[in-house]
Structure 1
Amino acid sequence: MWSMYNISILSRIVVDESGFVRRTIRYEQERGWREFTTSPEEPCDRYGHCGAFGLCDPNNTTEFECSCLPGFEPKSRSEWNFRDGTHGCVRKPGSLICSKGEGFVKLENVKVPDTSKVVVINGLSLEACEKDCLRSCNCTAYAIANISEGGSGCIAWHGDLVDTRIYTAGGQDFYLRVDERELGTNNTSIHSRTRPDLPFFDLTTLITATYNFSTRNMLGQGGFGSVYRGQLVNGQEIAVKRLSKHSGQGMHEFMNEVTVIAKLQHRNLVRLLGYCIYEEEKMLIYEYLPNKSLDHFIFDITKRAHLDWSRRFEIVNGIARGILYLHQDSRLKIIHRDLKASNVLLDASMNPKISDFGMAKMFGEDEIQANTRRVVGTYGYMAPEYAMQGLYSTKSDVFSFGVLVLEIISSRKNTECINGSQFPNLIGHVWELWNDGRVLDIVDPALCQPFSTDEVSRCIHIGLLCVQEAATQRPTMSDVIFMLANETPLPPPNTPAITFHYADSSKSSGATSWNRVSITALEAR
């Protein structure tokens, strides 16, 4: 709508045969009409200029102003080559929506698509808007409404997206639904599910820092991929965890780790410095810890001699404090689900730092236990109720901690068969010695005297309390901290979860790993 301040001036608007809107003013001196403004002024002002799922950028002066939204490609490549985007774009072959690991790519400074058929829900936050869109397989995008007042309410698009364009300045954020593959290739955008407050590292920086991921810079290798030592141009040392394409850890687990650890700050948790996504490459950048992981010491016949009892006791206490922070003291209640010796890193002073949060789960304040059909973790550290039924809680981590305590004292792996024992693992052997009154026989022979036998016996006792078969009988981590710091009497342990019976891998419907490194699914007989 428009009007003239000076009503004596005559003006008119005309829509011509090409669809242009021309505004003209009458000049009596010239006895004619003079054009004042014309719209559209540029191709992107024309409605649907780039078709469905197209994106118009008027600043692209060297190439065609039309491109396709992430996850889409031109419907007619020949027409596109002739700079005709009328028929728009279609999803790339193999692109799946309503699939595992999907999420949203954020586009900034956007004029949102045609809103004539959108769904508007008042009162929803940005996070709630995202969850609402994910629940519907037909929802293709969302944005926040009422941006002029700070943003409130939700706009959701279902079906084709028409008339989307980029502004140099202005516009708003727009969240487009894409599959897991597209999230990996769109390294300039942030996955709106997480919006991590972490620096994004470009691939070139990491290639330079690690000497092109040289084998001489490799710190370790496992089922997840490899870890490399690197040095940034400012001299800061970093550790780059480069996930293997065949590790089974997809975009969901990757972004889960970024989301969880970015919000945590504790001296006994490893510090995440940033992340990198480029095509199929997914990398996490951590602080560099020179002493690698705990398993490099306690399971090495030479290095374990460097760990006297006071150092081992401090490591036990540090791990316990880190877990307590996850369960109780952080802003989020977090279940790690994969606590093990290789996921405890050691800094230059041998202080322990818990790492690898790819399998972690966040709980609500009132949430006590959850269930999953996808059991993930490491053989020998998983609590029985989690391994057999998929039930996990803070007591699942308590069980893993108990295994760690016994491994640190004995320098033996829980999965290791011990000569002369009737039990197939470390827990069973310790229980056997406990009942025979010879529990100190489990102590690592490399642990030189003098050390407090009472303190060692107490730690073994606490370890057995943590690995009891019934989750309700295990202590909480706050109880564990108290028991480690005080000499109060401890309750007698009940029979621990000594062994489990797993289905034969050839008969199991799930994918089961038997490499004694990790197990992704298992079933009871």
Structure 2
Amino acid sequence: MKQTMYLHALYLALSFLSFLPSFYPSTDTIAFNQSLKDGDVIISSGNTFSLGFFTPGNSHRRYVGIWYNAVSEQTAVWVANRNNPINGTSGVLFLDDTGNLVVRDERSNVSVWTSGVSFPAKTMVKKHSAQLLETGNLVLLFQDDKENRVVAWQSFHHPTNTILPYMKFGIDKNAGLDWGLRSWKAPDDPSEGQYLYRLETKGIPQEFMYRGSERIWRAGPWNGFGWSGVPEMKTQFIFNLTYVKNNKVSEMYAIDGPSVLSRIVLNESGKMEGLTWDVGESRWEGFWFAPKDQCDDYEHCGAFSKCNPYEAAEDFECTCLPGFKPREERDWDSRDGLRGCGRKNGENACRNGEGFAKLTRMKIPDTEMATVNMSMELKECEEVCLKNCSCTGFATANVSAGGIGCIIWYDDLIDMKEFTDGGGQDMYIRISASELAKLSNKSEENSHERRLVAIAVVSLVAIMILGLYLGYYLVMKKKGDKKGLQRNSMLSLNNSLASYQDSSMAEEMNESGPTDVLIFDLDTIISATANFSLENKLGEGGFGRVFKGQLSNGQEIAVKRLSRNSGQGAEEFKNEVTLIAKLQHRNLVKLLGCCIQQGEKMLVYEYLPNKGLDTFIFDSTRGSMLDWKKRFEIILEIARGLLYLHQDSRLRIIHRDLKASNVLLDACMHPKISDFGMARIFGGDQIEASTKRVVGTYGYMSPEYAMEGYFSMKSDVYSFGVLLLEIITGRKNSQYHESSMNLVGYVWDFWREEKALEVVDPVVGNSYEAGEVLRCIHIGLLCVQAHQNDRPAMSDVVFMLCNETTLSSPNPPGFIGRQSGNYAAHSSTAPNTSTAADIISCMSVNDMSITIVEGR
């Protein structure tokens, strides 16, 4: 009986194993002399994606596809032979005699799919290979005549129904590429369905969804900040549109952190869905979808009208624009707005005292027949439209802030939607003189009413605040104990900070909980530092001095005493208190507390005996104490600390002033990032912000931050790259270096000449391994590339430092020329042929800077 049970269990186990795919001998690559049979799988280097044969849903047909390896719900993101499936398991994927990828049915000996690339005549086919990248991109590689690995074909250029992070979406007319999406026919049939989503460049670039040949949804034109018809797509949204010269317009979106799995899918029912994988719930969660309502139906309300879905409950969702009326009242009464609206009573709006009605929060009209001027601001745009009787309206997006400029319409205004929950932009409609007068009178009445309401609200708030203050004062006066005084000190600090913090920062602080730091008495600090004696002075920066101190319990501290005339005011002080108190990482300096008393603002840190990293790497004597092994450890630990700030902490922090002097060394020479006075908190889905007050240190600032005030995690990556090269070379970036104006250019020159090891700090001696140093220099140059989109995320930097993986070729860094002026990202640096790096270039429409630069 037992023997029978054992045999039965063994049979079940073998049956189960027979359903599991056999794993391909090579991890992520198919070489020329290898083939991938049905049942074999290759997996990307980080185990995120798999490539092999699969069967979708309840189908019995086999397809070659790419799917998420670590997701319990099999999710295909790309299909090769979507229109030519294989019946049975006789399929094989291999590189044929021409060097192309081919899917063949071995039973019928018929090829059902091929990459179809024409290679140069002298190409050595035996050196061709196909590699599944960690991004989910399958690339076909060959060696050119200089033995460089070149991407000849890639699945990212031939999407099916899914957009992945770092995948382009758009058009490259020169290469004949149209990166559009085509839905599956059904959940278990990946063949081409009836829905198409693509970008069109006629007029101003817009994205459209088609059902067959019929337009059914429009995302709106790109205004420089987002698609006009996607209110979720603000500056901090995950998308990033890049305009490139040579008839190429592409879009890309990115997710911070490799642990976040995200995709955008055009599903079988014609919905665009943004999804992320919820590990805890083991399911895909949506964060965005479109179209959403009847107002998203293309041209739902006809010409010269707007659609608002929230008005549909009481009235028709379609409304004529100011100065217009329904062309057919009967249609409007029957809730049919397709014929649209026309001018009231044929009023003359041509050189007869006419003007413009302003509509806010609008998805602006179809721009297929519109014109754009990328250098024209609001007033000039209005003047141009007013002079031309054919002009029906205009819209602008602030050029100086990165917007696309002035858009002018000379035809019917169609497919307009009004958003009630934010988003959209201003639209100006040409109206007659009589309609303009009506709007002016109505505006004056509304303005008077708003003033009365505002006065009443302000008065009520003032009374409430006064009452609360008096009540609190009486309670605290009555208690009068030491504990109450301590709470009073904390409240005074919080009140002082709150009075200076901006609303966005306040919201972030409220979400992340209260600040909990020790409040030191001024007398305690004076006693600990011997009244700030010069003997205890550790250093001096742009915002004050740092002193060593010792508390009565013997604990050593470092006190940062801010100068009363310092540029670091309450906001910067508040940043360091609120930020560092919430951050816990071995490579971040620990804040013990602060003191705010009698006009003094001081921060109390843990004492780090070896001071700043700059005192070692820029000193030939002390620099010899750091061999290569220790320098590499410092590089890696700084990277991990920065990764924590960007991704793993409760708050997403952009440091904005990472440099050698702001990295302190403890007794064991472990680095700790310090000085968070310039840091900024980002929201959970925010990836970029801008400022008119550029603060930081010359030489470490990224081009987009120094020149235009835009900062992001990639700004910190640039600073890290500069610091990495300084640690390797022992030289300051800001110093003149022979043929280049700075260290970055100096290293770049040696890298191009394949003499990069000559830049290594001589005091390191022979303590390094050449391959490891070259990899670090390579990573440093990737971090300082001129275009922020080309730079890796810190998660990728840590991965590259810890693993001997294939690295993409770096593009030229920013700030390497001898002349100041236009920042390098204003012109494309991408070669005409794709390489393994798949460079994305961008063209700025703004060469002016309105930032205020404060050097430190």
Distance apart, 1:247 and its partner CA: 2.0
Task: Name the residue aligned to 2:88.
Answer: none
CA gap 1:485/1:190 in 2 versus in 1, 3 angstroms: same
Distance apart, 1:470 and its partner CA: 0.4
Distance apart, 1:214 and its partner CA: 0.4
Aligned residue runs from structure 1 range 83-122, under 5 A: none
Could you tell me whether the CA contact under 8 Å between 1:276 and 1:284 is conserved in 2?
Answer: yes
Aligned residue runs from structure 1 range 168-179, under 5 A: 168=475
Q: Which stretch of the first structure deviates more once superposed, 268-277 or 365-374? A: 365-374
Could you tell me whether the CA contact under 8 Å between 2:587 and 2:641 is conserved in 1?
Answer: yes
Under a length normalisation based on structure 2, what TM-score does the superposition of the two structures give? Answer: 0.39
- Alignment-mate amino acid for residue 474 of structure 2: Y
Aligned residue runs from structure 1 range 235-250, under 5 A: 235-250=554-569
- Alignment-mate amino acid for residue 271 of structure 1: K
Aligned counterpart for 2:604 among listed residues 281, 285, 292 = 285
**d(CA) in 2 for partners of 1:377, 1:367:** 21
- Alignment-mate amino acid for residue 275 of structure 1: C
**d(CA) in 1 for partners of 2:478, 2:690:** 43
- Alignment-mate amino acid for residue 156 of structure 1: V
CA gap 1:328/1:281 in 2 versus in 1, 3 angstroms: same
Q: Deviations over 1:438-493 (max 9, x none)?
A: 11111001112131011011000000000000000000000001100011111111
- Alignment-mate amino acid for residue 432 of structure 1: D
**d(CA) in 1 for partners of 2:852, 2:458:** 32
Could you tell me whether the CA contact under 8 Å between 2:786 and 2:813 is conserved in 1?
Answer: yes
**d(CA) in 2 for partners of 1:392, 1:210:** 37
Q: Deviations over 1:18-67 (max 9, x none)?
A: xxxxxxxxxxxxxxxxxxxxxxxxxxxxxxxxxxxxxxxxxxxxxxxxxx
- Alignment-mate amino acid for residue 280 of structure 1: G
Q: Which runs of 5+ in 2 are unaligned?
A: 1-453, 480-488, 499-505, 823-848
- Alignment-mate amino acid for residue 386 of structure 1: Y
Aligned counterpart for 2:755 among listed residues 427, 430, 438 = 438
CA gap 1:387/1:157 in 2 versus in 1, 3 angstroms: same
- Alignment-mate amino acid for residue 453 of structure 1: A
Task: Name the residue aligned to 1:495.
Answer: 812
- What is the DSSP-based 3-state SS (H/G/I as helix, E as strand, rest coil) of the residue aligned with 1:157? helix
Task: Name the residue aligned to 1:382.
Answer: 701
Q: Deviations over 1:108-136 (max 9, x none)?
A: xxxxxxxxxxxxxxxxxxxxxxxxxxxx9
Under a length normalisation based on structure 1, what TM-score does the superposition of the two structures give? Answer: 0.63
Distance apart, 1:139 and its partner CA: 8.3
CA gap 1:279/1:478 in 2 versus in 1, 3 angstroms: same
Q: Deviations over 1:169-208 (max 9, x none)?
A: 7999xxxxxxxxxx99966966446652000001100000
Task: Name the residue aligned to 1:396.
Answer: 715
Q: Are 1:209 and 2:514 an aligned pair?
A: no
Q: Which runs of 5+ in 1 are unaligned?
A: 1-135, 142-154, 173-182, 519-525
Could you tell me whether the CA contact under 8 Å between 1:239 and 1:287 is conserved in 2?
Answer: yes
Task: Name the residue aligned to 1:447.
Answer: 764
**d(CA) in 1 for partners of 2:564, 2:756:** 44
CA gap 1:509/1:486 in 2 versus in 1, 3 angstroms: closer
Could you tell me whether the CA contact under 8 Å between 2:734 and 2:743 is conserved in 1?
Answer: yes
Q: Deviations over 1:118-159 (max 9, x none)?
A: xxxxxxxxxxxxxxxxxx999889xxxxxxxxxxxxx83369
Task: Name the residue aligned to 1:161.
Answer: 466
**d(CA) in 2 for partners of 1:303, 1:492:** 34
Q: Where is the strand percentage greater, Structure 1 or Structure 2? A: 2
Could you tell me whether the CA contact under 8 Å between 2:584 and 2:590 is conserved in 1?
Answer: yes
Aligned residue runs from structure 1 range 234-313, under 5 A: 234-313=553-632
Task: Name the residue aligned to 2:783.
Answer: 466
Aligned counterpart for 2:799 among listed residues 462, 474, 482 = 482
Q: Are 1:348 and 2:667 an aligned pair?
A: yes
Distance apart, 1:160 and its partner CA: 8.8
CA gap 1:502/1:261 in 2 versus in 1, 3 angstroms: farther
**d(CA) in 1 for partners of 2:457, 2:577:** 26
How many percent identity over aligned positions? 57
**d(CA) in 2 for partners of 1:476, 1:226:** 34
CA gap 1:137/1:417 in 2 versus in 1, 3 angstroms: farther
**d(CA) in 1 for partners of 2:645, 2:706:** 21
Could you tell me whether the CA contact under 8 Å between 1:185 and 1:279 is conserved in 2?
Answer: no
**d(CA) in 1 for partners of 2:719, 2:476:** 52
Higher RCO structure, 1 or 2 (CA under 8 Å, sep 6+): 1
- What is the DSSP-based 3-state SS (H/G/I as helix, E as strand, rest coil) of the residue aligned with 2:768? coil
**d(CA) in 2 for partners of 1:509, 1:479:** 33
How many corresponding residue pairs? Answer: 352
**d(CA) in 2 for partners of 1:292, 1:383:** 26
Distance apart, 1:279 and its partner CA: 2.6
**d(CA) in 2 for partners of 1:337, 1:158:** 41
CA gap 1:402/1:170 in 2 versus in 1, 3 angstroms: same
**d(CA) in 2 for partners of 1:285, 1:265:** 16
Q: Deviations over 1:298-344 (max 9, x none)?
A: 11121101100000000000000000000000011110000000100
**d(CA) in 2 for partners of 1:351, 1:471:** 29
Could you tell me whether the CA contact under 8 Å between 1:140 and 1:159 is conserved in 2?
Answer: no
